[in-house]
Amino acid sequence: MFRYQVLIEYIGTNFVGWQIQSKGKSIQKEIQVRLSKLLKEKVILLGSGRTDAGVHAIEQSAHFDCKKEIQNLDKLLKSINHFINDKGISVLAIKKKSLKFHARHSAKQRIYKYIIFNRLSKPSLEKERGWHIIKKLDIELMKKGAKKLLGTKDFSTFRASSCNAKSPIKTMKSVKIKSTSGRIEIQFKSQSFLQQQVRSMVGSLKYLAENKWNLKKFEFVIKSKKRILCAPPAPAEGLFLEKVIY
């Protein structure tokens, strides 16, 4: 048996998410079906984690096993992209790995990026690649709030009711915010995340930056561990899985 890692870029707009569902198109299924046909054997593609409907990836990581060693990885890369590129999916690389490698379990850190367009006009070039917010956001206050998210804590406030993670306790390694010409990028780094955690944190940071909440209220909401107190989650279109670190 041979194991291969696949690095994937995709636009999540027209998909139900990464994971195969009973209804709708998923990124996992699109690639898995095509790989199986090209390799002439049934292939199961396992991702580093789920991304919800509408969420994009700059570099999702996955792996699959096959019975025969692949002799020409470049040829396979070109072949698979020929069939999936027009669907908004690109396989960036296919790498041979040891059988000890696992796309999900071997991951040491995951990096997500959220993009906000804080300006009067809606984006055209980057339509559906960010959250358009007209009201001027207080970036400095947002940065102060981001510091409150750092460290190991119970993130139940930011956890979707459908989340099946064993524990709500996660360690946020870093939250970086940069703003250039009305474009705000918020980068989150942690070993793993709860379902809808990033979007819920962004939604709450937005409330803070709009002065709907002050820092004291923001901190209270985090410590409450009550989902009902969370601000509405940010829309999926602004969220990108940036990188999985092994």
Active-site residue, from 52, 65, 86, 138:
52
Sign of CA dihedral 109, 110, 116, 122: positive
23: its two tokens: 């209804």
Give Cβ neighbours of residue 33 (< 8 Å, ≥ 6 apart).
Answer: none
Q: Respond yes or no: is residue 74 known to be catalytic.
A: no
Q: What share of the chain is helix, strand, coil (3-state, %, to 5)?
A: 30, 30, 40
149: its two tokens: 């998210």
Which residues, in sequence order, are bridge partners of residue 46? 63
> How many Å apart are CA 17 and CA 199, to the nearest integer?
15
List the catalytic residues.
52
